[in-house]
Homo-oligomer: A and B are copies of this chain.
Amino acid sequence: MKFMSEQEIMDHYHMTHAIKDVKETLMSLVAGKIKTEERIVIESDGNTMLYMPCVDLKENFSLIKIISIFPGNPDKGLSTSQAVSILSELKTGKHVATLDASYLTRLRTGAITGIATDSLARQDAEVVGVIGTGGMAFEQLLGVLAVRTVKKILLYNRTMEKAQLFAEQLRSAAIDADIEVVSEVNQLTAQADIINCATKSHEAVFDHRAVKQGTHINGLGSYLPSMREINVDTIAAADLIVLDDWEGAKYEAGEFIEAEALGRFNWNEALSLTDLISQQVSRQHINDITIFKSVGASYYDLAVGVGAYKLMQ
């Protein structure tokens, strides 16, 4: 059995690989070649262990990701989420690799954001606004940068110093765009063609009236029914809404659950990422407001786990 550390995976497996592998797995999902079971959740003392298994009958691998979500961890200088995956080969049942899956989780989330953004954002989108500059923001942004030529990146964080640190991280990653930290979220929404949200907020993180026509919004916070990130008015006004996992979102995406309860949104209005890929759906009009909401699913973890393993063989 091979052990693949975060650093080894980061050295070899990047956003372009992840986007290609996630697209192929979505096609396998459409073709009925992916089997999943509902994830197992075990809670204790406010902490959660999540177990997400998935089988790929095309590639002949199965993968289970194990994530611990410990909300008190940042106070101890540790990450809230820690993930590891076990990859098994389906011709012999052999367990072939243990993968540190924290980077892979961020990367696959960025990759699905990139795939959705490629179909949904305006072709000429060149200004990206980032709301929330925490752990998931960097790869979410890399996903967007993989599919659009971005000239300007605006950063907003509740604690402004964190946005400034993130700006430095982007500069040292040699990202070729103007990078600006803003102190008011409206400065960001007024300019952004694409808005990335990755917060732990329990209320909408921007004012709907400040959103430009033609904006595409990516949301990946709000992964619990109690959380809110995208404005419900924006959900109601959106011309096209795409969910990374239609079933998962119904149980997890807080602001969409609220919007549905308020009669301002219906799940049947939303497409899934597989619809986008298999039916080649894209934005219809230059002034449409589009939303991509991600909650994650086991087959995305499988896509990048198998992809990284095969690449690094």
Structural contact, A93 and B64, CB atoms closer than 8 A: no
The answer to whether B88 and A95 have CB atoms under 8 Å apart is no
A51 at the interface (CB under 8 A from B): yes
Interface size class of A (residues with CB under 8 A): 35 or more
Pairwise interchain contact B49-A73, C-beta atoms closer than 8 A: no
A37-B40 CB under 8 A given contacts A1-B100, A66-B64, A70-B93: yes
The answer to whether the Cβ of A271 comes within 8 Å of any Cβ in the partner chain is no
Look across to chain B and name the residue whose beta carbon is closest to the beta carbon of A66: B86
Interface residue A181 (Cβ < 8 Å from any Cβ of B):
no
Establish whether residues A88 and B68, one from each chain, have CB atoms under 8 Å apart when the complex forms: yes
Instruction: Count this chain's copies in the assembly.
Output: 2
Contacts of A98 in B (CB 8 A): 1, 3, 84, 86, 98
- The answer for the CA separation of A285 and B209 in the assembled complex, in Å, is 83
Q: Does A146 belong to the interface (CB within 8 Å)? A: no
**A48 CB, min distance to chain B CBs, angstroms:** 9
Q: 1/0 per residue A81-104: CB within 8 Å of B?
A: 111101010101111001010000
Q: Is the interface of A mostly helix, strand, loop or mixed?
A: strand
Residues of B within 8 A of A47 (CB): 90, 93
Report the bound CA distance from A100 to B96 in whole Å. 11
Q: Which of B55, B73, B93 contacts A93 (CB 8 A)?
A: B73
Partner pick for A44 among B55, B78, B86, B92, CB 8 A cutoff: B55
A76 beta carbon closer than 8 Å to chain B: yes
A174 at interface by CB-CB < 8 Å: no
- List the B side residues contacting A66 at CB < 8 Å: 64, 86, 88, 95
Closest B residue by C-beta to A50: B53
With a CB–CB cut-off of 8 A, which chain B residues contact A82?
93-95
A42 and B68 in contact, given A1-B98, A62-B49 (Cβ under 8 angstroms): no
A69 at the interface (CB under 8 A from B): yes
Given A64-B64, A100-B1 in contact, is the A95-B86 Cβ separation under 8 Å?
A: no
Is residue A57 contacting chain B, with contact meaning CB distance below 8 A?
A: yes
6 contacts between A and B (CB under 8 A): A1-B98, A3-B3, A51-B51, A66-B88, A73-B93, A82-B94
